Structure 1
Amino acid sequence: MMTPHPNYYIGIISGTSMDAVDAAIVCFDPEFKLVATQEIPIGEQLKQQIAQLADSSLIRIKDLAQIDIELGLLFAQASLSLIEKCQIPCKQIKAIGCHGQTIRHYPELGFSWQIGDPNIIAEKTSITTVADFRRRDLAAGGEGAPLVPAFHASIFRNYQTDRVIANLGGIANITTLPKDNSQPVLGFDTGPANGLCDLWVKKHLDQSYDKSGNWASKGKVNLPLLESMLTEKYFQQPPPKSTGRELFNLEWLEQHLKGYHDVTANDVQTTLVELTAISLTQAITSYGFKTGELYLCGGGAFNEYLTCRIKHHLPSYLVTTTEKLGLNPAWVEAAAFAWLAKQALTKQPGNLSTVTNAAGPRVLGAIYPG
C-alpha cells in the first residue's frame, strides 16, 4: 500500500516591525514539523508607505489600494519562493494562512484591520488562502488578539511543568500553559517589546534594530523616565487585553520624554529595554506561576541584553527560547498561522475564549479557494 503524501500548510506573517515577510511550511500529520522557512525583506519604500498608512490619522483610499495590492503580491511571492526552495508540489500545499499587515487594531470598538489582498495570493499561487483571522473573534465579543496562544497550547503545553511562552515582536504577549489540565490557558499583550526600541534606534542611529541589544547594554536606566512610562494605564489593566502601535508609538514615547532634556539617546534605549523586561515579568508574576519555565520567541528572543534583564527580574524561572522545545523562535508566529489555516479548513476553533474573552470557541478566517 502506498503511503499517502502528507498535507502541508504555509504560514505568512508580517509583524509590527514591518522589516520582512516570514513564510514557513509546516506539516501536522502525524505530528507537528517545521519543514522549510523563507524570509523576504520588505523594501524600504514599501515599509515607509505601510508605516505612514498605519500611523496616519487620515487614510487616502488610493494609497490603501496600492499597498493592499503590493502586499498581496509580496505575500504570494514569499509563498512561491518558499515552495520553489523546498520543491514540494503545490498540490500538496493544503492552504496558505496569511495574517496580513495590521493597519488598525481597535478592540474597544470591535475592529481590527489587516491588509494584503488574499484574493491575489490565491490567484497567483493557485493555493487556497485563509486570511482575516481576527474579526470573527471580535464579532463574538473578543479582543481579536493575541491569536497565537491557541497554537502555543497545541504544541508547547506540558502536563508536568508550568510553562509561559513569551512572544517578543513589536508588541510582547504571553501565554500561560498550566500543568494542571483543569486550569485555563491565559494570554494577552503585556506592552511594547521591539517596537519602541526599533523606532528609537532608527531615529538616532539609522539602523532598523539594535542587534543583540548592544547599544542598549552601553547605557543606563533613567529611573524617573521608567517610572513615568510605567504609569501607562494599559499596564494596570487586567486581561483580556491587546494593544499595538496605536498606543505604543514614537509620539507616546516623546510625550513621556518631555521634561527629560538631559537624558541621552543611549540611556533612553536602555530604559526602553527595561520597560519591556519589567512590564513582561510583572505580567508573568501576576498571571503566571510562582515558578516555572519561560520560553521566548519572536525577534526579541535574539536580544541578549533584553534576555539578561528578563532573567534578572524573574529569578525563579528557567528562561530560554522555544528552540529548546524544537521550534526556532524566529518561526513560531509563521507556524501559528499555518496552524490557524489548518483549523479553518477542518472547521476547528482557532481562538481561546479564556484569552480573547470571545463568547466561545470560533472557527477563524475567511477562505479564498485556490
Structure 2
Amino acid sequence: MLADTYYIGLMSGTSLDGIDGVLARFDASGKPEVLARSELALPLALRTELLSLNQAGSDELARSALAANTLAKLSANVVQDVLRIAKMQAHQISAIGSHGQTVRHQPGLGYTIQLNAPALLAELTDITVIADFRSRDIAAGGQGAPLVPFFHAGVFQSGSTRVVLNLGGIANITVLQPGHHPVGFDTGPANVLMDGWCMKHTGQFFDRDGAWGATGNVHSRLLSHLIDSEPWFSLPAPKSTGRDLFHEVWLETRLNEIESSGEKISVTDVQATLCALTAETITRAIQTYAPNLTDLLVCGGGARNNQMLNALRTRLNCPVTTTEVVGIGTQDVEALAFAWLAWAHQNRISVTDTGVTGTRGPRILGATWPR
C-alpha cells in the first residue's frame, strides 16, 4: 500500500439536501485526514425530480439518466471546489469515491439503485472514479447498507463500547466493541419523515435545530401506533431501509388511523412525535445490540437537531455528543467514508462482512471508471 495518497469522497444522502465532498490524505493504514470540504445544495428542480423518481412514473429510464448526468455535473463542481481549497491538482488524486443518489432500495428483491454517472464524472474531472459500492454486497446476499461500519471502526474505535449514529434521511448505527468486528444496521427513519412533514406544513426543507418540532408535544398514542403497526421495526439485524418504506403515505395512513376516532393531532405535535419515533427506535436498537454502551457519537444532518439530541440523552444513560469531539465534522463523516471506500477498493480491502450487512462473507466493493 502507498503512504500519503489522496482521495475525494462524494455523498448525496436520502435527505436530498445536497452533495457533500471531502478531500482527504490517507496514510498506509488507511487513517484519513480531511484537507478540504465543500457542499453544494441540490437545485430545487433536481431535488423534485429525484423525489419523484423514488416512485414509479412515466419515462423513468430517460429521466433517471438525465438526473444522473445532472448529479455528475454538480459533483464535478464540488470536486473542483475541494481541489481549489486544498490547492491541489487533479493528477494528485488517486480516485473519487462517488455514492450517487439512492432512488430505490429493495435488498429483499435483490437490487438497489443509486443514480450516478461515474463515466461522466471521470471525464469532467480527469480523475479515476470508484462507484457502485452497494451492488456487490447485495449480490453476495447482503443488505447493501450500511457500508460505513468498517470505516467507523477505523476512525472511531475506543477502549470501550461505543455506538456511532448517523442521522441522515434514515438512521443507522455502528456498534464498536473492543476485540470484535463492528455491527451495523439501519434503525428506521431519521430526517426523512420529519423533513417531509416540515416541508408540507411550513414550506421549509427541514426543521432547523428542531425548533419547530420543539413547540409541539409527543403524542404517546401516535408514537406507539407508528412503532407497533410497522413490522420492519421488529426485524433482527442485519437490516436496511429507505424511502421505499418510510414515506408520506406511510405516515398519513397511520395518522389517519389514530384521527379516525375523532381525535385531531396538531401538526407540531406530529413533528415532535416523529422526532420521538426516531429517538425511540434508535434507543431500542442500542439497548438490544449494545446494552453496555459507554458513549454515543452522532453525525449527519440530524446531529444539528437539538431536540433529537436531547431526546436521545433522555433515553440513554451515557454521554451523547457529535463526531466533532473526535475531530471529524458531522457533515463530513459520510463523504469521508466514501473516500475511504475508494481507498479500500484500490487497495483490495474487504469492507463488509456477515455481521454488518449479512453477506456470505467479506467482499471488496465498488467498480472503477479510469480517468
In the superposition, the TM-score normalised over structure 2's length comes to: 0.95
* 1:230-249 paired onto structure 2 within 5 Å: 230-231=227-228, 232-249=230-247
Deviation at 1:85, TM superposition (A): 2.5
* Separation of aligned partners in 2, 1:109 and 1:101: 19
Please give the alpha-carbon distance, in whole angstroms, between the structure 2 residues aligned to 1:288 and 1:202: 34
Q: Please give the alpha-carbon distance, in whole angstroms, between the structure 1 residues aligned to 2:149 and 2:57.
A: 31
The 2-side partners of 1:60 and 1:236 are apart by: 33
Give the conservation status (yes or no) of the 8 Å contact 2:302–2:308.
yes
Give the Cα–Cα distance (whole angstroms) in 1 for the partners of residues 6 and 123 of structure 2.
Answer: 19
Distance in 1 of aligned mates of 2:218 and 2:3: 55
Q: How far apart are the structure 2 equivalents of 1:68 and 1:242? A: 23
Cα deviation for residue 184 of structure 1 reads: 3.1
Equivalent-residue separation in structure 1 for 2:342 and 2:48 (angstroms) = 29
What amino acid is aligned across from residue 201 of structure 2 in structure 1? H
Of 201, 204, 214, the residue aligned with 2:201 is 204
Letter in 1 for 2:196: L
Equivalent residue in structure 1 for 2:251, among 234, 246, 253 = 253
Q: Deviations over 1:177-222 (max 9, x none)?
A: 002x0x3311100000011000000000000100110011110111
Equivalent residues of 2:161, 2:292 under 8 A apart? no
Query: Is the Cα contact below 8 Å between 1:5 and 1:92 reproduced in 2?
Result: no
Aligned sequence identity (%): 42
Corresponding residue for 1:341?
A: 342
1:58: how far off?
5.4
- CA deviation after TM superposition for structure 1 residue 154, in Å: 1.3
Inter-partner Cα distance in structure 2 for 1:278 and 1:361: 32
Moved more, 232-241 or 343-352: 343-352
Output the amino acid matched with 2:6.
Y
- SS of residue matched to 1:330: coil
Deviations 1:158-194 (A, max 9, x none): 2x21100000000000000002x0x331110000001
Distance 1:344 1:87 in 2: 25
The aligned residue for residue 8 of structure 2 is 10
TM-superposed deviation, 1:350: 2.1
Task: Give the gaps of 5 or more residues in structure 2.
Answer: none
Match of 2:104 in 1: 104
Instruction: Give the AA of the match of 1:164.
Output: V
Q: TM-score, normalization: structure 1?
A: 0.95
Using the alignment, how far apart are the partners of 2:126 and 2:294 within structure 1? 45
Report the AA paired with residue 272 of structure 1. L
Counterparts of 2:109 and 2:345 in 1: how far apart (Å)? 25
Could you list the structure 1 runs, at least 4 aligned residues long, displaced by more than 4 angstroms after superposition: none
2:287 aligned partner = 285
Shift in CA distance, 153/5, structure 1 to aligned 2, threshold 3 Å: closer
Q: Which moved more, 1:10-19 or 1:30-39?
A: 30-39
How does 1:321-360 map onto structure 2 within 5 Å? Answer: 321-360=322-361
CA distance in 1, matches of 2:249, 2:332: 30
**Other-structure match for 2:131:** 131
Q: 1:58 to 1:286 in 2, by over 3 A?
A: farther
Q: Which residue pairs with 1:82 in the alignment?
A: 82
1:100-136 Cα distance to aligned partner (Å, 9 max, x none): 0001100101101111200001001110000000000
- Counterpart of 1:306? 308
CA RMSD of aligned residues (A): 1.4
CA distance in 2, matches of 1:293, 1:266: 30
Whole-Å Cα distance in 2 between the matches of residues 216 and 112 of structure 1?
32
Q: For 1:133 and 1:173, how far apart are their aligned partners in 2?
A: 17
How far residue 254 of structure 1 moved from its aligned partner, in angstroms, is 0.3
The gaps in structure 1 that reach 5 residues or longer are none
Residues 150, 352 of structure 1: 8 Å contact kept: no
* Structure 2 equivalent of residue 148 of structure 1: 148
Whole-angstrom CA distance in 2 between matches of 1:291 and 1:131: 34
* Structure 2 counterpart of 1:369: 370
Cα deviation for residue 86 of structure 1 reads: 2.0
Q: How many residues align?
A: 363
Q: Describe the shift of the 1:342–1:5 C-alpha distance in structure 2 as closer, same or farther (beyond 3 A).
A: closer
